[in-house]
Every structure is written in C-alpha cells, then in structure tokens.
Chains A and B, each alone.
Chain A
C-alpha cells in the first residue's frame, strides 16, 4: 500500500475533535458505524457472506476441499484463510501478491476464528491421518473505508455459519461423498473482533477511513460470546499503556456483544 503523508491540519483537526468527545461523522467515541450482514450471497461458494461496516465492504467465501491433514495433527481438519485487498477498494491498493497489510489481516482473522473455536476442526476428519476437510476462507475486500479487521472477522464467522459441506461415508478404503446430503459445518463458538484506535489520547471504536489514517496506535481484540479473549493485535507505531490495553479489552467485550446481534439475526 502506498501511504501518502497525512497533512498536519487533518491530524490535528481529527485529534482535537476527539479530545472534545466528538468525531467527524457525529458518532460517539464508542459507537460503531452502520453494520450490515448477508449470507448465502455467492451460490458457487458452499458458504458466503457480504459484510459492510460503514462503507467498508468485504465478500467472504468458504469453500471445502478434501485434502491431507498436517502431519502433527492427523485427526484435525484444516482452515486456510486468505485475503485480497482488491485494487478496486481504494486508490492506493495495488494489484499483486498479498502485501504486509493483507497478510496481517488474514493471519489475525485466522487466529481469531481458530483460537475462537468457530469450527470444531476435529469433526472434519474423514479418514484419520489420511483425509480431512480443508476449509478455504477467502476474504475479498472490495471497498475500504477504515477498519478491515472487525468486518473480516464478522464476515468470516457468518460465511462459516452459512457453509454446508457434503456428508461423507467410508466404504472400505474409499470415501463416498454425497452431494445430495449437505450438512452445516460443525460450529462451536462465535468470536468477534473489536478494533479501537488511539487518537488524541483517547480510544475510539471502529476507526473511520480518516481516523485509520491519522491514528497513533490501533488495538484489535477478539472476544468470544462468554467474554473470554481469543486474539489480540496491536498496530501502529505509538506505544499503548497498560491501562489503555485493559480499557480497550473492557470496551471490546461490551461492543462485540452488540455486534453479535447481527449474527443472531441470521440464525433466526
């Protein structure tokens, strides 16, 4: 990503506003932009979702494939997360292999989904030690308006909850795949991520595009439904104090509960 220098005037005006408890788009410091979530949007993907936070928009596809397990975990299925910061999403996104921002995004999302135990990977074993289900989670970022991580995790959770895989039976040495009997993925937990930005000495939830450009530091916290923490990532070059970190975690626990309502709406 080619990042041009943000003018001092913009940095100052955003920080001043936040110091006085307001944000440029009128939100409270701990308020999310409008969130929208749809599943089943791509029929060719066994699971899919389209998520929008503000104008940031990601299309997530989940596709299963049969493959070999990792040698050190012979009875566990495989989850592979990949993200593409599509050049259409922002004027400074370039086509090409994933850059460090894209790689960080897929790895953090993967950790949150994996450590958050969304999919019971042990139930994805077909022939122990030989054949397991591999789930490919592909995040396609099509519009970037600040805060990718929260949208990525929300979209990924929704796509996995939407996904169906064919049922399998073993016939001696052979795996019989029955596409007429599709079953949902074994879903256990519903972790979500909340990102806060440190600007003007304050922490603000769900940084907008402008806030993302001027922030001093960023902290993303992955929280499960029971309030326990499953993933964290600090970004930005300015340090955070211990108090700021603990405060961020507290806010994230509260805000992910709100975000989770978007997911419950789907399962109704």
Chain B
C-alpha cells in the first residue's frame, strides 16, 4: 500500500557502500583509528546537582546527577554505603522512527550496565544510607549512545562534587567493511560485522563495561579492544577539559 520512492538523506555523511577499497577510508571519511567529532560541556542544567552534555558524531546525549540524597525506598538502603541508580532513556524524537515513550528492554539493560560501569569509580562508602541518581537522556541517536551516556554521566558525577577514583570514559570499537575500526557510526553499527563497546577508568586501565556483538577472530578482538582503549583515553582528556572549562580561569 505504501511505496517509499527515495531513501531518506538525513545525515548524509553516514551513507555507506560495501565496496572494499585499498585505502579503507570509512564512509564518513575517517581513518580506522579516528573518533567522530566530539564536544563535551559540564554544568548545563540548573536544578540537577551535576550535569553534562555530550555530542559525538550526531549523537546528542544529556546526563544529570542528583545526589547523594535521601533514599526513601527502604528495601534498597545500604547501611554502610550509597547506592547508584541509573536510568538511560531515549526521547521519542531521538530516532528515525518515533520511539514510544517509556522504558523498553534495551533501555533497561543499558541502565543496568551503565550503573555497573560507574559503580567501581565512586567512593560509595562515604555516603551510607543514601542514593546517587543518574539520568541519561538521548536527545538524538547516531550509534554509540550507551558509550556517550557513560561519558556524560562521569562528567555529571564530577560536576556534582561526588568523590571518585577516576572519571570513567567509554568508547566502542568494532569491525565494519572488513576493517577493525574505532568509534562506529550508526551505519557502521548496523551494517558492520562486530561491535565492542567498553568503558574504563583511564589511570589504572580497569575496564568497567564490556559488551560484544558480532563476529571477530581473536586477533581482531585484541585489535578492537586496543582501539577502544585508545578511544577511551582521548575521550578522557576531553572530559577533563570540559570540567576545567566550567570552573577554570579563577
């Protein structure tokens, strides 16, 4: 009944082809080890205790932190430490086909692994019987929102004055068009062969989030892991700068 005449050209730089080429430039012109353009701002909201905004490629992700604050749900209370609660959510207008409001299974999973990725970094023992609530909103999605969310959440936690061992940074690597690459775009994520998002604490190299989806040989996996780690380090520098810019120049 409905025929689509031409394909949509929103975000034209991300259209790709599966024609292999020797130089292996990616559809958006990046090298295999190049991140998409990155922008991080700290302290963007008025009411939240801490907040941050991240743009990577066409992703637009906002994170806000409230806490430590009183926890009214008694069964979740921990007597000797704070708990970390995280809600990852996508706005209905953030994706091509409007998403119905409310959590879906994917958001629930991402919320869980995000909390687990940030947990090891926070000095939770300093705030018994309280909660630190993290809210991540994806305003526009273009592949890699979970990593952008974690990156933004770390900056928001720091902005809120919450003591941490390190600021967790997240980045994905994978394989697209036969090549192991850093920071998959939406197209590379959909059409590629593997996706490996990770999060880490840059100073110690401790990895706090790791997922993999697709097909990689052991060698390819190691290459991808190293690319993702390198990506995290670059993102970590941008996080630090964002915080310093917010308070800097006293």
- Cβ A138 vs Cβ B91 within 8 A: yes
- Cβ A44 vs Cβ B5 within 8 A: no
Q: Which of B7, B9, B48, B101 sits near A88, CB closer than 8 Å?
A: B48
- Cβ B91 vs Cβ A90 within 8 A: no
Residues of B contacting A88 with CB < 8 Å?
45, 48, 51, 62-64, 66, 135, 137
- Cβ B133 vs Cβ A87 within 8 A: yes
CB 8 Å contact bits of A46-78 with B (1 = contact, 0 = none): 001000000101010111011000000000000
Q: Which of A61, A90, A174, A180 sits near B47, CB closer than 8 Å?
A: A90
Residues of A contacting B94 with CB < 8 Å?
42, 44-45, 61
CB-nearest residue of chain B to A47: B93
Shortest Cβ distance from residue B182 to the other chain A in the assembled complex, whole angstroms: 23
Shortest Cβ distance from residue A222 to the other chain B in the assembled complex, whole angstroms: 23
- Cβ A138 vs Cβ B69 within 8 A: no
Q: Bin chain B's interface residue count.
A: 35 or more
- Cβ B4 vs Cβ A179 within 8 A: yes
A57 to B51, CA, bound (A): 14
List the count of A-B residue pairs having beta carbons below 8 Å apart: 115
CB-nearest residue of chain B to A63: B98
The answer to whether the Cβ of A133 comes within 8 Å of any Cβ in the partner chain is no
- Cβ B1 vs Cβ A42 within 8 A: no
CB 8 Å contact bits of B88-130 with A (1 = contact, 0 = none): 0101111110100110000000000000000000000000000
Shortest Cβ distance from residue A128 to the other chain B in the assembled complex, whole angstroms: 15
Shortest Cβ distance from residue A102 to the other chain B in the assembled complex, whole angstroms: 10
Residues of A contacting B133 with CB < 8 Å?
87
Known contacts A82-B101, A176-B3; A144/B10 CB under 8 A? no
A62 to B2, CA, bound (A): 22
The answer to whether the Cβ of B46 comes within 8 Å of any Cβ in the partner chain is yes
Residues of B contacting A97 with CB < 8 Å?
102
Q: Bin chain A's interface residue count.
A: 35 or more
Residues of A contacting B62 with CB < 8 Å?
88, 142
Residues of B contacting A266 with CB < 8 Å?
none
- Cβ B45 vs Cβ A143 within 8 A: yes
Shortest Cβ distance from residue B36 to the other chain A in the assembled complex, whole angstroms: 14
Residues of A contacting B17 with CB < 8 Å?
none
- Cβ A142 vs Cβ B8 within 8 A: no
CB 8 Å contact bits of A81-110 with B (1 = contact, 0 = none): 010101111110001010000000000000
Residue of B98, B133, B141 most packed against chain A (CB within 10 A): B98
Given A175-B3, A180-B9, 8 additional A-B pairs, CB 8 A: A44-B141, A45-B93, A66-B2, A89-B47, A91-B47, A95-B135, A179-B5, A179-B8
Q: What are 26 pairs between A and B in contact, CB < 8 Å?
A: A42-B93, A44-B10, A44-B58, A44-B93, A44-B95, A48-B93, A59-B139, A61-B91, A61-B94, A63-B92, A63-B93, A65-B98, A84-B101, A88-B45, A88-B64, A88-B66, A88-B135, A89-B45, A91-B47, A136-B98, A138-B93, A142-B45, A143-B47, A145-B46, A179-B4, A179-B7
Chain B residues at the A interface, C-beta cutoff of 8 Å: 1-11, 45-48, 51, 58, 60, 62-64, 66, 69, 87, 89, 91-96, 98, 101-102, 133, 135, 137, 139-141
